[in-house]
Amino acid sequence: QSVLTQPPSVSGAPGQRVTISCTGSSSNIGTGYDVHWYQQLPETAPKLLIYGNSNRPSGVPDRFSGSKSGTSASLAITGLQAEDEADYYCQSYDRSLSGSVFGGGTKLTVL
């Protein structure tokens, strides 16, 4: 059971927009801690996609965006492409655990 809750899977057709939610609690996201997102392609290490709730590292397309409100955060992907098919993870800090925590991951399927 992950501290942050994500839907196990989402799907969309090429060109469409999808969102992935990440729900936490007053012990983590709700306290004001930042949320970060990672993309993991098959058989590869996770790659930073969004940091500090809504910031994109250099090289990440602006089709990817992040937001945070209350005890939840969201990752939005617009203009879906086949290469976006991957697992996506959210991450934050939990004050009760005094450490980083991850969501369980969401598998994105491009139909």
Partner 1 sequence: QVQLQQWGAGLLKPSETLSLTCAVYGGSFSGDYWNWIRQPPGKGLEWIGEISHSGNTNYNPSLKSRVTISMDTSKNHFSLKLSSLTSADTAVYYCARGPDVNVDTWFDPWGQGTLVTVSS
103 near partner 1 (CB under 8 A): yes
86 near partner 1 (CB under 8 A): no
Residue 30: left (phi > 0), alpha (psi -120 to 50), or beta?
A: alpha
88 near partner 1 (CB under 8 A): no
Distance from C-alpha of 100 to C-alpha of 111, rounded to nearest angstrom:
33
By DSSP bridging, strand 36-40 and strand 47-50 are antiparallel
Q: Give strand pairing partners of 57.
A: none
CB of 57 to partner 1, least distance (A): 7
13 near partner 1 (CB under 8 A): no
48 near partner 1 (CB under 8 A): yes
Who's near 104: CB < 8 A, 6+ residues apart? 2, 4, 5, 6, 8
**From 39, 65, 72, 92, residue interacting with partner 1 (rule: CB under 8 A):** 92
64 near partner 1 (CB under 8 A): no
Distance from C-alpha of 35 to C-alpha of 51, rounded to nearest angstrom:
7
46 near partner 1 (CB under 8 A): yes
With respect to partner 1, which residue has the nearer C-beta, 13 or 99?
A: 99
- Which residues are at the interface with partner 1 (CB under 8 A)? 2, 33-34, 36, 38, 45-48, 51-52, 57, 89, 91-93, 97-105
